[in-house]
Amino acid sequence: MNQLQLFLPCAAGVEELLAEEVHEITGLQGEDLRSHRGGVLVRSSWRDAMRLNLHSRLAQRVLIELSNTPYRNEQDLYEAASNIAWEIWFTPKQSFKIEVTAQHSPLTSLNFAALKVKDAVADRFRFKTGVRPDVNTQWPDVRIYLHLTTERATVYIDTSGDALFKRGWREDKGDAPLKETLAAAMIAASGWDGTTPLYDPCCGSGTIAIEAAQIACNIAPGSLRRFGFEKLLPFQPHVWSAIQEQAHAAEHEPQTQIFGSDVAFRMVDFSTRNAERAGVAGVVEFRGGDALQRMPPAESGVMLLNPPYGERIEVAGVAGRREAAQTEDGSGDFFPQLATHWKRNYAGWTAWMLTPDLKLPGKMRLKESRRVPMWNGPIECRLFKFDMVAGSARRTTDAAK
C-alpha cells in the first residue's frame, strides 16, 4: 500500500491551493504531487490517504485510482473493471455503489456504463468467492467512481465516504450556506494565517468563522467524522488511532480572535451552536447586528464574507428596508452603503468578498486589489480583495464633489 495513485477532486479554481495544502500535510512535491483540472494527483501511501482525509480542508474526497485504460464502448468498461482485484479492497458481504462522472464521453447512457461496471465487480466476486455483493445506492459501504473522458476510463475506489465538506458540526444552517470546503478555499486564498483578527459581518451559519477558528487552533477538519476507508480491508484501527491522536496532540490555543455577526438573530444562534459542536465556542464571538452599523471588533484585521445576493438570499437590515431604493438585483443601496461604512470606520482592514456579481467593485465604488476566480457549485464567482486605507473616505468624498 506504499505506492498508491490518489486523486483529490476540488472545486474549479482551487487546484493550486489544494496542491499547496497537500504539500503541507504530506511533504510531497514534484512528480508525486501534480495539480490537474478539477483536482490534484498524488502518488503516496495508504497512511497518507488517511491523513489527507483527516487534514484536508479543500479536497472534496480522496480517491484511489485502480485502473486507467482506453475505452470505446461499455464492454471495454466491463473488461477494465473485471481486471481490478476488488477482493483486496472489500468483501462480498459489503454493499457498494457506482458513481459516474464524464467529460465528453461518446457513450449514450452513463447509467448503462455504471451498470456494466457494477456487473463486472459483482461477477468478479462471484467468480472468486461464489458470493455476489449487494448494491446499495443510498448507504453503500463502498463507493466506486468511474470517470470517463473522450477516450479514457478511470476507475477509483473512494476512501472518504461522505464528501469531505461534511465536517460533522454544521447541523444548523441558513438559506444559502457556503460549503465548508469553499469557505476554507476563501481563507486559503486570502493568505490568512491565524495570527490576525478575522471577521465575517454577514456570517449566516458561521461557516467561514468556524473554519477559521479551527485553523487558528490547528483542529483537523475531519476530527469529528468517520471515513469510508474505515470499511476497506487495508484499514488497521491502531494505525488510524495513532494518526488521530497525533492530530489531537497538535491542537493549540489560538493566537487571535475571530468574530462573526449577522442581521438575523436566528443565524447567530445557529452559528453559536455550530461553533460549540466544532469545538471552537470560546474562540469565535458571534453577535447580532446590521453590517452597515457594526463597528470593527478589533483595530485591524481581515474581513471574509459572502454577502447576501439576489435570488437566494436578500439583504436585510437598514438597506433592506429602503424599498424605494431597491435595485434590479434586490440589494438596494446595501453595497454602496457598506463601502461608505467601511471607508469611514474600517481603515487598516482588508475585506475579501465572494460574489457572483462581477460588477460588485463598481457598485461599491471601490477598486479591488485582487480578484480570484472561484466556483460556488455551478455558479462562477470572484473573490474580491479590497484594502481599506486610512483617509479613503475623504478621498471618495472629495472625488464626488
Ligand X SMILES: C[S@@+](CC[C@H](N)C(=O)[O-])C[C@H]1O[C@@H](n2cnc3c(N)ncnc32)[C@H](O)[C@@H]1O
Q: How far apart are CA 13 and CA 58, in angstroms?
A: 11
Position 337 contacts ligand X (CB under 6 A): no
Q: How far apart are CA 101 and CA 7, in angstroms?
A: 14
Which CB sits closer to ligand X, 90 or 270?
A: 270
Please, what is the minimum distance in Å from the beta carbon of residue 324 to ligand X?
Answer: 17
CB under 6 A: which stretch of 133-141, 262-270, 276-284, 374-382 binds ligand X?
262-270
Q: How far apart are CA 83 and CA 108, in angstroms?
A: 24
> Of 345, 177, 202, 219, which is closest to residue 260 (Cα–Cα)?
202
Position 290 contacts ligand X (CB under 6 A): yes
Mapping DSSP to helix (H, G, I), strand (E, B) and coil, where does residue 210 land? Answer: helix
Which CB sits closer to ligand X, 41 or 264?
A: 264
Length of the chain: 401
Using CA atoms of 365, 287, 213, 183 in order, give the dihedral in degrees to the nearest 10: -40
CB under 6 A: which stretch of 55-63, 128-136, 202-210, 227-235 binds ligand X?
202-210
Position 174 contacts ligand X (CB under 6 A): yes
Distance, CA of 6 to chain centre = 18
Binding residues among 295-324 for ligand X as defined by CB under 6 A = 306-308, 313, 315-317, 319
Compute CA distances 322 → 37, 282, 343, whole Å. 44, 36, 22
Which CB sits closer to ligand X, 19 or 202?
A: 202
Position 207 contacts ligand X (CB under 6 A): yes
Residue 365, CA atoms < 13 Å, CB-side half-sphere: 17
Residue number with the smallest Cβ distance to ligand X: 204
Q: How far apart are CA 126 and CA 122, in angstroms?
A: 6
Position 262 contacts ligand X (CB under 6 A): yes
Which CB sits closer to ligand X, 22 or 319?
A: 319
The site string for ligand X over 32-61 (x = CB under 6 A, - otherwise) reads ------------------------------
Binding residues among 70-99 for ligand X as defined by CB under 6 A = none
How many residues bind ligand X, per CB under 6 A? 25
Please, what is the minimum distance in Å from the beta carbon of residue 176 to ligand X?
Answer: 4
> Of 64, 78, 87, 83, which is closest to residue 1 (Cα–Cα)?
64
Position 202 contacts ligand X (CB under 6 A): yes
State the Rg of the chain over Cα. Answer: 24
Please, what is the minimum distance in Å from the beta carbon of residue 207 to ligand X?
Answer: 3
Binding site for ligand X (CB under 6 A): 174, 176-178, 201-202, 204-205, 207-208, 262-264, 267, 290-292, 306-308, 313, 315-317, 319
